[in-house]
Structure 1
Amino acid sequence: MTVATTDAALVLEDGRIFRGAAYGARGRTLGEVVFTTGMTGYQETLTDPSYHRQIVVQTAPQIGNTGWNDEDDESDRIRVAGYVVRDPARRASNWRSTRSLDDALTDQGVVGIAEVDTRTLTRHIREHGAMRAGVFSGDALVTDAAMLEAVRASAPMRGADLAGEVSTAESYVVPPRGETRFRVAALDLGIKTNTPRQLADRGVELHVLPSGSTVDELLAVAPDGVFLSNGPGDPETQTAAIELTRQVLAREIPLFGICFGNQILGRALGLGTYKMRFGHRGINIPVLDAATGRVAITAQNHGFALEGEPGQRFDSPFGTARVSHHCANDGTVEGLRCSDVPAFSVQYHPEAAAGPHDAAPLFDEFVTLMEARHAQTH
């Protein structure tokens, strides 16, 4: 595949411009530029709703080798705002592939750029932080000044209320595989496809609710447990979800949150959140369990985090809680556990195959929590 090297541009809000070749759809796209360190799993990355309004840079140099299939999507479509790669595969080669990555991006209107020095770009983001950016190609490739003006006029990620943009519009039910053991209400803040599968495998009938659902709508499901999903944006904007979580905690309904759900639970318990410099995004991030000392290799995708220290205990309106997990790389809060109400959460993705299954037992722990609550109330 021979292409020109100056028919696309990635423009950062600090004025840095990376030039390359158009990849995927042609046009203009704006968002926050972030990098992910996963060597595999680009299809799951692209379809993860947590990447909504983000331009994703792949640090792995070769992307697209296995093409695109019809089984691995984490939602109903590609969710990233834009895509940046170094060396796209000229030919897809995998027995499950139905089309190329380039075709998938083009068909879904995702503007990308290839032949970028992604190592330099990643170092720039690490040094200066995730920031607003734009990918421009085709007729949208205009003067540098005009492109930079468009980027700087775009909305920042801090203060962005995005969960409602990726949440389901209507409630739906995912049946269990086999006998129904428990009924769980899941608040869809940007839920990934594999999460309901993990719960269904454990006999859970999952009722997926829109992000704006009220406590009465949740209680109408008569849930044995409540699940808070992953999702995009600034957790500080999620006042309704935070209040809903407080109502669940007050009723002592077993609760499990992941990623964005971890931040929602934390804010419900009285912790603050902050925007990270460049976030955690990848499938190789070590997390330490304070109680056991064990380290799990995890998949993560978040640009905000909870305030707190490893192993910290703190008082909340619902009793004592503690920071149960932290990142072994930088000490970031990676999990919470309540002592007086049945609730816990983690910042990473136990449904993803990172370690490959180091964190999968967390779903079993959620089931155990519901079993204990059922035995107590009956």
Structure 2
Amino acid sequence: YGHNTHASVAHTYKIESKAAVPGRYMDITGNKATAYGFIAAAEKAGLKLFLGSYPITPATDVLHELSKHKSLGVMTVQCEDEISGCATAIGASFAGALAVTSTSGPGVCLKSEAMNLAVITELPLVVLDVQRGGPSTGLPTKSEQTDLLQALFGRNGESPMPVIAATSPTNCFDAAYMASKIALEHMTPVVLLTDGYVANGSGAWKLPKLAEYPAINPPYAPAEMKDNYTPYRRNPETGVRYWAIPGQEGYMHILGGLEKDSNTGAISTDPENHNLMCHLRAEKVAKIPVPDVEVQGCAEDADLLIVGFGGTYGHLYSAMEELIKNGKKVALAHFSYLNPLPKNTEAVLKRYKKVVVAEQNLGQFAAYLRMKIDNFTPYQYNEVKGQPFVVAELVEAFTNILNQ
């Protein structure tokens, strides 16, 4: 047990919360918080929740948890393989449910063809990827951030999908809720990234008041489209297509994996139409409104900006605090919304003398930021050990960058 948990000392620590906010709390794991976030989003949207899944470490607990809640209108199907887990969810989405499929990195590889089907049909779907060590079977019980580029680009064709990353076990609830909101309101599949560390970790979670969460309003086809509905007519401001649920009289239509005419919805091989549809799908995702990235620490005059995403937040924040205690001027910009990036991303990253992107891979987020931002050349801190960052090592590395 000690070897497998990498425990070096047999002490128990109790870490008190910095600020106790009055309310009802429960101890919750990231996977359970994710499951609850999906349930809350379905309730807010007035829809049933459907999960099509195939067991895989470390994502299986989400299937286990959701299967307990049939009384809340939750439907779970344990499928024979990963692609059928995703395909059944797409069918449930076509039928009008909030559809989710859950997996880890190897499962995303197998689901990619079905994920593309959700892209071209423009159906709402949340793909939960609880990242683990790879490649291949890799390190099933360990934690990495190595699926980012797969989530962003790992499909054939121009296949844009929003990508969100949870930052802590308790944040998994909000991340799952917002991923569901984006999927339903913008008629798109969404990738939600957590990781083994976040999913199996736990925290004191303040029970939320659902009334305080933003509304979820799917873009249902309006009454004036009855008997004149085609599936790719769009809201001119958002670029989102209108959603007609099968069985609605006057809204008969066909969806499928072949490219469709933007006006009629009929199968089309016209090159100009395909070019248009690729642009429309990309623009729809690019227009999705996401919050600005927040800068913490010495936001006004930092000599070094630390940049990260997802489940490394606690370690990077602690490293920033240690550096500030040591008299250094350091700030942290931690990203939850990865596609589209927050509108203030470039302004934030170019405000500081030095920027270091720290991630548990070989530089995927840094490469993505260089792709999106001209003349951006950050320092990088990369580890792929299947283990969380060690704060003392971060502090040493960031101090060396400051001293260069």
TM-score, length-scaled by structure 2: 0.32
Q: Which has the larger radius of gyration?
A: 2
| Bigger helix fraction | 2
| Bigger strand fraction | 1
